[in-house]
């Protein structure tokens, strides 16, 4: 077991690592401008993919950047530079863009790719700590990811430099996402498994109740007690209220019923328009089912009225529908 002094020393060392890496990332803010817009425009215009390459720790970071780009709408592929000279460089086409990562800018295996990149006329984006390096001078677009020092006490192990490179890659990926108009639905379609994409195949229209025989629909002028009876029969815990034009104007739920019974000594004289909730939460049938779930969770409710833009009722989506579909 470590003693208290040793534990304290380790905690301080860890905090120092956090500070060095955080400072390194923050300093990147002053190093982006035209290079960022040029990189985004170049990648957007490319008909092919983004080929990311790097050796060693830069390679590991490159794999992550390629994965992030791919999952946010920019098809990407990681090319190991050492394997590239044994046939794998054939993955690069004239329609691609290459992102090459090397802190020193002099990584031998990576530089071996330069002749092919130049011959094909492929745009080269460099992530490096040295602009005057071979890679830096050969690049069309340069991103400075240099750091004052590594977080390693020996100033040797790639730590702050790899964190800075990863952050720069994330910034580029998110800017591309924004420029492409990449939506929440697009993102979820690329993540159909796990919690990110659970239920992505479903829209509200797929899960809502829309059968007129099933829907508890009452009129504003119906009596409160008539609507309570309707809610009991339909067993959805609520009723949607409409006016003479059949437009949705309110809702009455089990919770509303309890509050009304406590508030009014004689409920037999009440009509829906007097007691219904008017500022109800609604959703369109074209919305994602996960959006319906988010609204329910935010407002602690179990169902939503589904309606058109002009407030014509189209159905009801209940938490039970989401549970059965695996959305919730």
The CATH number of the domain holding residue 256 is 3.10.580.10
136 and 35 housed in the same domain: yes
Higher pLDDT, 168 or 279: 168
> What is the three-state SS of the chain?
CCCHHHHHHHHHHHHHHHHHHHHHHHHHHHHCCHHHHHHHHHHHHCCCCEEEEECCHHHHHHHHHHHHHHHCCCCEEEECHHHHCCCHHHHCCCCCEEEEEECCCCCHHHHCCHHHHHHHCCCEEEEECCCCCHHHHHCCEEEECCCCCCCCCCCCCCCHHHHHHHHHHHHHHHHHHHHHCCCHHHHHHCCCCHHHHCCCCCEHHHHCECCCCCCCEEECCCEHHHHHHHHHHHCCCEEEEECCCCCEEEEEEHHHHHHHHHHCCCHHHCEHHHHCECCCCEECCCCEHHHHHHHHHHHCCCEEEEECCCCCEEEEEEHHHHHHHCCC
pLDDT band at 113 (very low <50, low <70, confident <90, very high): very high
| Average pLDDT of span 256-263 | 92
199 found inside a domain: no
176 and 54 housed in the same domain: yes
187 found inside a domain: no
163 and 264 housed in the same domain: no
165 and 212 housed in the same domain: no
174 and 211 housed in the same domain: no
244 and 141 housed in the same domain: no
193 has a pLDDT exceeding 70: no
Place of tokens 């040797």: 156
Q: Within 13 Å and on the Cβ side, how many CA atoms surround 274?
A: 14
- Domain of 134 in residue numbering reads as 4-182
190 found inside a domain: no
The CATH number of the domain holding residue 173 is 3.40.50.10490
151 found inside a domain: yes
Res 197: pLDDT: 53
User: What does the alpha-carbon distance between residue 74 and residue 44 come to, in Å, rounded to a whole number?
Assistant: 8
192 found inside a domain: no
In terms of average pLDDT, the best of 24-38, 198-212, 309-323 is: 24-38
Res 104: pLDDT: 96
| Average pLDDT of span 4-13 | 87
249 and 219 housed in the same domain: yes
318 and 249 housed in the same domain: yes
271 found inside a domain: yes
289 and 249 housed in the same domain: yes
167 and 136 housed in the same domain: yes
215 found inside a domain: yes
Model confidence over 67-93: pLDDT tens digits? 999 988 899 999 998 886 655 567 899
39 found inside a domain: yes
162 and 63 housed in the same domain: yes
170 and 290 housed in the same domain: no
Q: Within 13 Å and on the Cβ side, how many CA atoms surround 38?
A: 13
Count: domains in the chain: 2
């Amino acid at each position: 077991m470590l003693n208290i002094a040793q534990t304290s020393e380790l905690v301080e060392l860890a905090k120092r690592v956090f500070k060095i890496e955080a400072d390194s990332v923050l300093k990147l803010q002053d190093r982006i401008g035209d290079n960022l817009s040029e990189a985004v425009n170049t990648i957007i215009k490319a008909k092919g993919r983004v080929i990311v390459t790097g050796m060693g720790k830069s390679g590991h970071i490159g794999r992550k950047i390629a994965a992030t780009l791919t999952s946010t709408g920019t098809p990407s592929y990681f090319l190991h530079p050492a394997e590239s000279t044994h046939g794998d460089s054939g993955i690069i086409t004239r329609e691609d863009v290459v992102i090459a990562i090397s802190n020193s800018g002099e990584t031998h295996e990576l530089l071996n790719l330069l002749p092919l990149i130049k011959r094909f006329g492929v745009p080269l984006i460099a992530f490096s700590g040295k602009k005057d390096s071979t890679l830096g001078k050969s690049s069309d677009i340069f991103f400075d990811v240099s750091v004052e020092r590594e977080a390693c006490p020996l100033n040797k192990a790639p730590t702050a430099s790899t964190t800075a490179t990863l952050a720069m890659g994330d910034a580029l990926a998110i800017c591309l996402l924004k420029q492409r108009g990449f939506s929440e639905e697009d993102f979820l379609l690329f993540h159909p498994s796990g919690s990110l994409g659970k239920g992505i195949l479903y829209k509200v229209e797929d899960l809502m109740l829309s059968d007129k025989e099933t829907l508890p629909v009452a009129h504003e002028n119906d009596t409160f007690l008539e609507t309570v009876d309707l809610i009991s029969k339909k067993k959805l815990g609520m009723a949607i209220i409409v006016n003479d034009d059949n437009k949705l104007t309110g809702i009455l739920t089990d919770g509303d019923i309890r509050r009304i019974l406590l508030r009014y000594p004689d409920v037999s004289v009440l009509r829906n328009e007097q007691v219904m909730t008017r500022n109800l939460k609604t959703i369109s049938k074209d919305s994602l089912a996960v959006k319906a779930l988010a609204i329910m969770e935010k407002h602690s409710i179990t169902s939503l009225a589904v309606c058109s833009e002009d407030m014509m009722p189209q159905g009801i989506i209940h938490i039970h529908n989401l549970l059965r579909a695996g959305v919730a």
